[in-house]
Each structure stands twice: as C-alpha cells, then as structure tokens.
Structure 1
C-alpha cells in the first residue's frame, strides 16, 4: 500500500493534468464560439446561441462513468465545466423570478452553473420581457408543479410572446415554514400561490386560523416575514440564512415527490435530439361543434403523443380560450411539420412556442 506522501504527490500530479485538460477544453470552446459567429457574420453578438441543450444531452447520454464518483456528482462537475465554457464564448445573463433564494433561482443555478450572471425579476412577465427585449440572454420560468399543477402566470404571458422554449429542467421542491415567531404565535403566512398550494394540507392541520397571503415569490415572502411579528413564510431552507429566519418546520409539502418543472426561454429553439417535445399554442372557433376534437386528432394522425393540455382565457372576449398542447417530436421533424399544417385547417392563431430535449426520466 502506498504511503500518504506518495498518494498526495499523485493527487498533485493529477490536479495539474486536470487543469491542463480543462484549459485545453476551454480553448476549443473559444474556437467553437468563433466558428458560430463566422457561420453568420451578420449575426449580432447577443443572438449567438451558446447554451445548447441538445449538445449537453448528447454529452450526458454518452458519458461512461465507471466510478467511484456517482452520476449526479459527475453531472454537477460537467455542469460547471460547460458553464465556464459558455461564459468564455460570450457574456451570458439569465433572468429568473427573484429575489435571490427562490426555487427559480436554485433551478437556474442548477441549469446554468456558477459562471453566468443571474438577473432577478419581480414577476414572471418581467422574465419574458427581458428575453424579448434582449436585456438578458435567457430566461427561466416556472411552468408546472407535480402537486399544484400549471403556473397560470406563465401560461397567460405565453399567449403573446416571441420567445422560444429552449430547454426544460426539474427541481425537487422541499418547502419549509420560516418565521422568527414560534408556531403557536403565527397568525399570517406569506408565499407564492404555488407555494401555498403545495402546503395547503399542512397549513390546514397546523395553522388552520392563520391568514394566507399570496406574494410574487417565495423569497419575497421570506423578506416580508422577517420584519413582521407573528408572520411566517413558506419557502426554501436557503431563505433561512439569506433573510435571518428560523426554520419552524421542514418538508411541509404534500407528497414525497413534489417537483417543479421550469422552462428555459431564448430567441430560438435548439436542434432535434431524437427525443424532444414541442409546445404549440392555438385557439378554435368555439361555435363549431368538434373544432377542438378535430384539432387534437391531427397529433394522433401523425403518431404524436400528447403529454399536456392547458387552456387559458384569451382576453379577446368572454368564454374564448387559448389552448396549449405539448406533444412528442421536434418542430423540424416531418411529422410535426405536417401535423401543424393540418392543425391550421381546424384552428386559428397556431404558433409553435418551441421544441426542447425531453429530460424527464419516465417520458
């Protein structure tokens, strides 16, 4: 068995090799960035896409890990390597629902790593505005939760947007009750509507008389609870340190697999990977019997599975709705192109909101 000094010397040698290899990879990444810009010399620097979810999926899928590092640890390492690489190619900014400490902030960090600039926004519509106006490179918005369903603020803003979905990411959400007051003294609970929905059973059991107040984000809830006697916030444990609150209760969400799905928005979608989803928005003439049925049937006709259907008021007139459909395939695939063409025969205002790699394990 080797002695300790020899083992440490070997570690030092390996560290030197790792640094050299990382810098060699970084130089290649810079060359890739230059090649992207040379493909279209008229392209504005801000429009060059450096976040390539299809490429990341390819790297993760073909990576051979023989241990002893587990896959999650290795993926975290690769996440930071790729984060540093895209930051070398151009300045990358990511809008998210702030302030710091929200679950959106955590999801953005897990998706983009440490090497990009995060720009907190006050509400979901501000995130989409930032991407549309070119104020940030990308935006990350909450889309649905496994316990409380779709995020209506995101859907409502998606009725009118020029952004395109570029990727999806998932975050296991564990809600905590934070306060500087003991449980029996809490009379008011702040959180985002999604947060309150995910813990409504716990609140009904332990704080049935406390007033529930919806705010723009879980971190804002923590900010408000920190300066109000008898107030509490439903938010992440991280907010305890950020805003000086005690953790009164942990893991108060309903169910053991509470997960929120987020969408990454940009100016365009990425290329097909062979396992993609596409989001389509449209409306129909509600006075025509079977109009929605006819529109949805085209997806079956072209062998496209449907994973999610939502509807929201269009705002045009009462009882008129916009439909959001998520199907298998990529907008560049022939069967998706044909399905969208046929959908236009039965629907109006058909718009592809983007295609993105499917990263959900069970679909």
Structure 2
C-alpha cells in the first residue's frame, strides 16, 4: 500500500498519514496528491480538509467538487500543537522574521504579534524549517519532527492562539468505505437558481428523516458572482436506506448533487 500525502516529511499531514498502514510518499502540493491517486501512482492520499480555528481548506474542497471523481474513504482528526523552531545558536530575542505555512501563521497570530516579528508564508511547515536551519535571525512554526529533521531547537511550545486546535484530514481513494454502522457521508450540491427557499427545503428533507447534519458550508461555484455550492456532512452511509431516500428526493430539487464518499466516523471505534 502506497499512501501519498501533502509533504514534505515533518508536516502535520505526514503525522496524520502515518496512522495509515503503508509506505508514505510525499508530494509538494495537494493537487499533486489527488493526481497521484487518480493515476494509480499511489493507492491512497491524505490531505487536510478543515481546521477548527481557520476553517476549511479550500483547495481540497474544490478538487473534490470539481476536478476528480475520487472518494473520501476515511477521516483523521489530529490535535495540533505549534512550536517555534529556531537555529541552535540563536535565542528567542534574536528572531526578526518567522516562516511557516499560512495556516499556522494565522493560528499563532497573537503570539507572533507579541513577539513583534515579520512573517512570511511558505509552502509547508517543513519547508519553513528547512529555510531557517542556517539563519540565526529567523524562526519557523513547525512540528517536533521537523525540529529533529533539520537540527533545530524548540524555543516555545504550544504557541497557537486557542488550546482546542484540531485539524481534520481525509483519506482519498478510488472507492469509498463499506458500511460499518457508524459512518459519515459527505456530499456537495448546487441549488437551482429559480427555486426560492431552496436551501430551507433541502434541509427539511434531512430533518424529516431525522438525519443529523454535522457540517454545512457554502463556497463559490466558480461559475458567476453570487452562485454557490454547498458541502454537507451527515451521519450515516449513502447505502443506508433513509440516506438513499433523502438523496433521491434532493436530486429533483437541486441543480446537481455529488456524493463525495461515506466513511467511518473518527473517534467512534
């Protein structure tokens, strides 16, 4: 089993992917992970989809909705603890600029403002760690593993603005998961433009079958200004009878609906 992930080594996505059994293969971007799974270069891919502080990862949602027919086969929820990494010869007061992926920079905004440093976004947390290993005046926000990989020291731990910082990752594959009895289903749908109260009616269909929605989020459809698609997560498997009934009824009331996958709910083992 080969598992592609949004790398390089030393990222939180690698930590999430390491929970799967198989050979880990890093890719530089999220689209490259999708393409590797699509082409069969790897069997599965692991990519971030949502953070409890900063919200959804737009590129992952867009690739699922618009560009690939891949399915979500699993989810991994990881507690995120950010650390400030610096050169072994540096001290905290030496740091003038901090590098990291834009998400950690946002999640540690208050800490960085208190430091009074400049910030610079990078492709990943691991890439940031690699950039500063020979720079006494720069720091990086990254993982403990990144510190080990690049010979850095941890100058400050748990620097995120909020304690309950969690990131949700999804496992993508050609097919989704068989029913387990404790599942979640993700769909994306587009409302018909000429149907007033369309979203209200759709939500009513789920409520009528007592289906719990765990997430609903809108994103631009990329067709025109003011046109949106909706991502919906619900409890249950798309092969469950009541889920099948609702989805069939919803099809007649929307422009389109696409099942992104059914998979076991994380933490319900």
User: TM-score w.r.t. structure 1 length?
Assistant: 0.70
Moved runs in structure 1, 4+ residues, more than 6 A? none
Aligned: 1:289 with 2:196: yes
Question: Residue in 2 aligned with 1:183?
Answer: 92
Residues 145-166 of structure 1 show CA distances to partners (whole Å, capped at 9, x for unaligned) of 2222222221122222211011
Residue ranges of structure 1 left out of the alignment (5+ in a row): 1-91
Residues 296-336 of structure 1 show CA distances to partners (whole Å, capped at 9, x for unaligned) of 22111222100011222221122212210000110100111
The counterpart of 1:224, out of the listed 123, 131, 136, is 131
Aligned: 1:140 with 2:46: yes
Distance in 2 separating the partners of 1:301 and 1:159: 26
The counterpart of 1:310, out of the listed 191, 207, 217, is 217
Distance in 2 separating the partners of 1:348 and 1:153: 22
8 Å contact from structure 1 (residues 159, 314) kept in 2:
no
State the structure with more CA Rg.
Answer: 1
Total equivalences in the alignment: 266
The counterpart of 2:244, out of the listed 337, 341, 344, is 337
Question: Residue in 1 aligned with 2:34?
Answer: 128
Seen in structure 2, the aligned counterparts of structure 1 residues 342 and 203 have a Cα distance that, compared at 3 Å, is same
8 Å contact from structure 1 (residues 159, 322) kept in 2:
no
What is the correspondence of 1:24-35 to structure 2 with a 5 Å cutoff? none
Question: Residue in 2 aligned with 1:170?
Answer: 77
Seen in structure 2, the aligned counterparts of structure 1 residues 192 and 286 have a Cα distance that, compared at 3 Å, is farther
Cα distance, 1:111 vs structure 2: 2.8
Cα distance, 1:287 vs structure 2: 4.8
Higher strand share: 2
Distance in 2 separating the partners of 1:156 and 1:228: 37
Cα distance, 1:358 vs structure 2: 1.0
Higher helix share: 1
Distance in 2 separating the partners of 1:187 and 1:285: 52
What is the correspondence of 1:1-363 to structure 2 with a 5 Å cutoff? 92-112=1-21, 116-160=22-66, 161-180=68-87, 181-205=90-114, 207-208=115-116, 210-360=117-267
Cα distance, 1:281 vs structure 2: 0.6
8 Å contact from structure 1 (residues 151, 194) kept in 2:
no
* Deviation larger for 271-280 or 153-162: 153-162
Across the aligned residues of Structure 1 and Structure 2, the Cα RMSD in angstroms comes to 1.7
User: TM-score w.r.t. structure 2 length?
Assistant: 0.93
* Deviation larger for 266-275 or 286-295: 286-295
Distance in 2 separating the partners of 1:318 and 1:183: 46
Residues 128-184 of structure 1 show CA distances to partners (whole Å, capped at 9, x for unaligned) of 111111111000111112222222221122222211011111212111011223222
Residue ranges of structure 2 left out of the alignment (5+ in a row): none
8 Å contact from structure 1 (residues 166, 269) kept in 2:
yes
